[in-house]
Structure 1
Amino acid sequence: MRYTQGKTGRVFVARVEHGDDLLAELNQLVEKEQISAGVFFVIGALKEAALVAGPEECTRPPVPVWREFSDCRELIGTGTLFPGDGGEPVFHLHGVTGKGDLTLMGCLRGESEVYLVAEVIILEITDSGAVKEFDPASGLKMLNFLPV
């Protein structure tokens, strides 16, 4: 295991409105407030979204299993935000969606339309040196640490 230590910075509380794209709105907030790293929590509902619900097999790089829905589902999720190779924000949001007896868990990717509301809490992390860098073995941007 490798790790670093950071500090808690600002705390943001946001309401993402009905019909908004959850990830796009988070991206706009992050850019406007210049949040480079943090952890966030989401509770609400999505009308439609696409998730990566695991790999087809345990191989590197993984072949993603995509699942989509468009039937309005409850959502609870948590994620991280760190700067990418070029300084751009890289989100990693895992969530569980549900409706009735249907439950789906995965990594939210692409468009994600909010149904009614999504409440978001962002805890900013400062002075950690944590970044997301491309890892050729996994084919993904993985957490890494730069000197602080």
Structure 2
Amino acid sequence: MKYGAARLGRVLVVRLEDGDVVHESIEAAARAEGIARAAVILLGGAAGGSRVVVGPEDAAARPVAPLQRVLHDVHETAGVGTIFPDEAGRPVLHLHAAFGRDDQVTAGCIRRGVTTWVVGEAVVIELTGTAATRRVDPASGFELLDV
């Protein structure tokens, strides 16, 4: 385990609109406000056709091949994530969410493209006083947090 301390900065409230791609919109808002590091809370609706990474196809395989699910219809969404800059300094959202419809639930990473259905709300809580950055880990290929 590696960790470091941070302080709370500004709080950004984001209303996502019908058709907005969640990670693209939240990252754009962070860039516009100069927020490089943050904690993110998300809720709202996800459109049918949204793509979610639900794990690796084979946990032992390298490089990791993501297992993807496509949401078959509109789903309720609740998620939590973080924003940290990549090695080029771009703020990158890493957010996992649960997607529910009727009695079925899918959970996973939104990075492959989750689209807002009618309403999406995100609260972006800026983190200051830290230099934490996402760096590519050669072993996994993932951008891991370097604190």
- Larger deviation: 97-106 or 19-28? 19-28
TM-score normalised to structure 2 length: 0.93
Offset at residue 35 of structure 1 (A): 0.4
> What's 1:12 paired with?
12
Q: Which amino acid aligns with 1:42?
A: L
CA distance in 2, matches of 1:36, 1:24: 14
Residues 1-148 of structure 1 mapped to structure 2, 5 A cutoff: 1-48=1-48, 49-59=50-60, 60-145=62-147
CA distance in 1, matches of 2:72, 2:57: 23
Q: Report the identity percentage.
A: 34
CA distance in 2, matches of 1:88, 1:139: 18
Residues 4, 129 of structure 1: 8 Å contact kept: no
* Structure with the largest fraction of strand: 1
TM-score normalised to structure 1 length: 0.93
Residues 55, 62 of structure 1: 8 Å contact kept: yes
Q: Which amino acid aligns with 1:41?
A: I
Offset at residue 130 of structure 1 (A): 0.6
Residues 26, 93 of structure 2: 8 Å contact kept: no
**Structure 2, unpaired ranges of 5+:** none
**Cα RMSD for the two superposed structures:** 1.2
Residues 52, 113 of structure 2: 8 Å contact kept: no
Q: Size of the alignment, in residue pairs?
A: 145
CA distance in 1, matches of 2:112, 2:91: 15
- Larger deviation: 42-51 or 58-67? 58-67
Offset at residue 70 of structure 1 (A): 4.0
**Structure 1, unpaired ranges of 5+:** none
Offset at residue 30 of structure 1 (A): 0.9
Offset at residue 27 of structure 1 (A): 1.6
Residues 53, 112 of structure 2: 8 Å contact kept: no
- CA displacement, residues 61-97 of structure 1 (integer Å, 9 cap, x when unaligned): 4221111114110000000100100101111110000
The alignment partner of 1:110 has SS state of coil
Moved over 4 A (4+): none
